[in-house]
Structure 1
């Protein structure tokens, strides 16, 4: 595991089993969705990671956790409310999230991706709870490597990026476009077996020409009209250069960029 990494994935040479090493303990461990098991932490794990007294006494299986989460999911009336619930679960425990959705793909896949992701994109700034992914604005174009170094995942095989110029037939949606790379990574994991901790969703904030967003006091993106072609080319060039330097073997998955 790299010195600056917070956790790492390894394989036991004798058994072939995969496991994770981490130095994170206590409350910090419970706030890491990539590592948090919640009530499924065993008694031995609770002692080892300083979790005694930080969780209810009962140790649950992941199947018991899934059953509770599905009951909670069913209580929400609209698709957007269900989407928000699943996104929050994703920010609490990735393992539990993927276990739940994999067991209910027929009803949940349209909630985390199309068509409901379009609503999540439009309502992003007003429904914002926690950030997911990396946000790189034009004003940060000379700090891209620094921003990439601030990622959570130590190893990166896949970068999914969008500038949100054209989203699912609803046009320029500004910073809400981060929801597309996030959702695509979910689908790649659920349907393609991609490891969720080896991908990074990125939003390139090039401004927006959506006047409703620019006039919205809650809008979280860069309040500026979209870049000119020259500025855009400069920005994307710097981004690609930084990505190639930091992740030379990573695969690009692109949302719609300048056409």
Structure 2
């Protein structure tokens, strides 16, 4: 339930909720993934500001990656402009003001000699991709590491 990678929100049927011990941690209503997708898309449609839409999707990704990636997969044409070009450039420029959960790891000159130990602080054991950058020209915007848009 509290792991966004496995969370399905209200898409867990009651037997699965009992098996996983999450009954009572989600509302009692059962909603399919498709129904949840439509609720998120309805919310996005009433918003005008692309950064607000990005924040909604970013918060969803932080809570429920199953739903987030199902929306991305099924509605890529509608969602891509919100989570990628052109919106992501503005998000990177305003990263410090958006109060998003960090999705990266940061190393500075203060960490010299500690980097090997620091990688074990990452919460997931199974990492498929690592991107290393000095952060000086992320997306060509001239922003530093605070933008985290790689």
Q: Taking structure 1 as the reference length, what is the TM-score of the superposition?
A: 0.54
Partner in structure 2 of residue 175 of structure 1: 145
Q: How does 1:238-249 map to 2 (within 5 A)?
A: none
The alignment covers a number of residue pairs equal to: 150
Listed one character per residue, the Cα deviations across residues 181-219 of structure 1 (whole Å, up to 9, x for unaligned) are xxxxxxxxxxxxxxxxxxxxxxxxxxxxxxxxxxxxxxx
Partner in structure 1 of residue 127 of structure 2: 156
Shift in CA distance, 45/133, structure 1 to aligned 2, threshold 3 Å: farther
Partner in structure 1 of residue 77 of structure 2: 106
Cα deviation, residue 67, structure 1? 0.9
Partner in structure 2 of residue 15 of structure 1: none
Higher relative contact order structure (alpha carbons within 8 Å, sequence separation ≥ 6):
2
Q: Taking structure 2 as the reference length, what is the TM-score of the superposition?
A: 0.90
Could you tell me whether the CA contact under 8 Å between 1:163 and 1:177 is conserved in 2?
no
- Give the 3-state SS of the residue equivalent to 2:131 in structure 1: strand
1:166 pairs with 2:137: yes
Structure 1 portions without partners, runs of 5+:
1-29, 181-259
1:48 pairs with 2:19: yes
Listed one character per residue, the Cα deviations across residues 132-180 of structure 1 (whole Å, up to 9, x for unaligned) are 2222222123222222112232222321232221133321x12333222
Which structure has the highest strand share of the two?
A: 1
Structure 2 portions without partners, runs of 5+:
none
Partner in structure 1 of residue 32 of structure 2: 61
CA–CA distance in 1 between the matches of 2:13 and 2:47?
31
Q: 1:137 aligns with which of 87, 108, 114?
A: 108
Extract structure 1 runs of 4+ deviating beyond 3 A: none
Q: Max radius of gyration: which structure?
A: 1
Partner in structure 2 of residue 86 of structure 1: 57
- Calculate the aligned-residue CA RMSD, in Å: 1.6
Listed one character per residue, the Cα deviations across residues 2-21 of structure 1 (whole Å, up to 9, x for unaligned) are xxxxxxxxxxxxxxxxxxxx
